[in-house]
Chain A
Amino acid sequence: MNNIFTIENLIVRRGGVKVLDINELKVHESRILALIGPNGAGKSTLLLTMAGLLKPDQGKMHYKGRPVESSAERSRMRRSVCVVFQEPLLLSTSVYKNVALGLKFRGMSKNDIQKNVGDALSYFGISSLANRSAKTLSGGESKRVSLARAFALKPHLILLDEAFNSLDPPTRESLIDDLRHILEETKITAVLALHDREETLRLAQDVTVMSEGRLIQTGATAQIFNQPQSEFVANFVGTETILEGTVQNIRSGLMEVLVSGKVIEAAGAAPLGQKVFCCIRPENIVVSREAPENTSARNIYEARIQKIVRQAFFYKLVLDCGFPVVAYLTVSSCEDLGFCEGAAVFASFKATAVHVMRREK
């Protein structure tokens, strides 16, 4: 995998305070990397630094194999790296002129501008807004215009800061889907600052968890969510079981998802062959000594208890059903049934307890 952007021993101070302290970060070409972490973790600062808008106090950055040190190199890099801020920041002119802005800076001819703007607008499904005044748009429309403005430049690396903040759920949903398709199609490398786990799961191929200016854990998305290396990451990504799978059959409101050779039945519908994430909350898993009979739970698996961890008011059980599953049990049910590590049990959950998220590629 080629790295389009690498960072080594980067330090950024603001007002004497160290806001960014990064040992190493590699951004793989044509992949989508999510920076996740709480507010104030330094995600936006990192994006600004990568965009060449903020001069680091210390450290090395390489863009496309060339070091970024002088301000001339930073300006050169700015021509093919574009950041999109949280707020749309549109100019009070027409949508068309807003999207054409960056192309105009590059001195592009009128015809080329027209073509590029047209493409960018249709990518984001906002061709009909071209002549509207940008200040009369809704939140979702403004967001699309600001994204189209960046994509019109055909950047090689795009940095999106909290792209879906303050959008209502349906608007957010459709924008996530569209953005995923566009990134897939254009093969533009993207770094997204996010703080929502669902957005991360749906968009990112790689994830970096940030806290207080540092990178805590970096890896492929499923790995980060299933094998958090620290308490902090675990708390941030949640304890939900997340399973990668493929939809292999659909019938009457149910889909069968193939996960590590086993079939999970989930409520809902998705195209055949669609790659998905199945998310199951630990409180929805029922653990029993014998196989449950006459139950409405459609998913029943033989399992082995790998680990039992005492939490404040309950036990956390890590089960191996051929795929890993985390279950929460109250102290009394766990002790009454005499569960111990290594015991053979049955894990069951309803098809409606499986939350299926579509995944790119």
Chain B
Amino acid sequence: MDLIVQGVIKAFQLIISFDPEVMGITWLSLKISGTATFISLFFGVSVGTAVALNNFPGKRLVISIINTGMGLPPVVVGLFVTIMIWRSGPLGFLEILYTPYAMIIAQAIIATPIVMGISLASIQNLPPNLRLQILSLGASRMQMIWVLIKESRLPLLAAVMAGFGGVISEVGASIMVGGNIKGYSRVLTTATVMETGKGNFDIAIALGIILLILAFLVNLLLTQIQQRQHPR
């Protein structure tokens, strides 16, 4: 019991005093996961929309693959990215193993199918005649697609939440490709794993609390936007 109480007290001290190391780790987490989510948004929405709006042979297979990708195990992604950027691997010349860039790539790969799957489903869920109605009002194809994406903004926000929530709390891939290097590629999750291993529960609890608060704040923000855009 003492362990937990002491840990929590120490944790709050670290947070309230803006401990530079804890703050640095938090900021890096936000930067890496934010960038990865942004990249996944770009690829996920464009490919998801393209698949939803076009009919082609094998469409169902593609959709099944994307849906499977939504549950991609981070460790497998970590393994795949590590092999690719390993010194003797196909992308070894980039020399980005154990850097934040590698972490961004791995996290983007994890988040992209989530964003893609949700945007695909949300565009498909729009009434089938909506596309024709928009075209009949004089839209070009690009204008029509833009209106459809705007119309699915609520599920797309959910996709952002799901994607960001997935990668900021992910540890396997980050530790494999980032290496948990202090001050460089150490993020909240990898640091929590390490500090717990060392028995530094106070720091681990502090990091855990920050991770929770972070996830809560991001979702609160997105929910606010969502509710404002959809007045009842």
Contact = CB atoms under 8 A, between A and B. Distances in A.
Contact of B132 (A53, A102, A135): A53
Contact of A87 (B129, B136, B138, B231): B129
B132 A85 contact: yes
Interface string B107-140: 0000000000000000000010110111111111
Contact of B136 (A53, A92, A133, A135): A53
A153 B137 contact: yes
B127 A87 contact: yes
Interface residues of A, number: 25
**Chain A contact surface mostly:** mixed
A101 interface: yes
Nearest to A53: B132
B198 interface: no
Contacts of B230: 92, 135
Given A91-B151, A92-B151, A105-B143, A83 B232 contact: no
Contacts of B137: 82, 101-102, 105, 149-150, 153
Interface residues of B, number: 21
Interface string B136-155: 11111001000100110010
A133 B231 contact: yes
A48 interface: yes
Nearest to A79: B138
Given A92-B151, A92-B230, A133-B231, A78 B133 contact: no
A46 to B, nearest CB: 14
Contacts of B140: 105
A334 B184 CA distance: 103
Nearest to A135: B230
Interface in A75-117: 78-79, 81-87, 89, 91-92, 101-102, 105-106
A321 B170 CA distance: 88
6 contacts: A78-B136, A81-B136, A82-B136, A91-B147, A135-B230, A136-B231
A-B CB proximity, top 10 nearest: A102-B137, A83-B136, A105-B138, A89-B133, A105-B139, A85-B129, A89-B130, A53-B132, A102-B138, A133-B231
Interface of A: 48, 51, 53, 78-79, 81-87, 89, 91-92, 101-102, 105-106, 133, 135-136, 149-150, 153
Interface of B: 127, 129-130, 132-140, 143, 147, 150-151, 154, 229-232
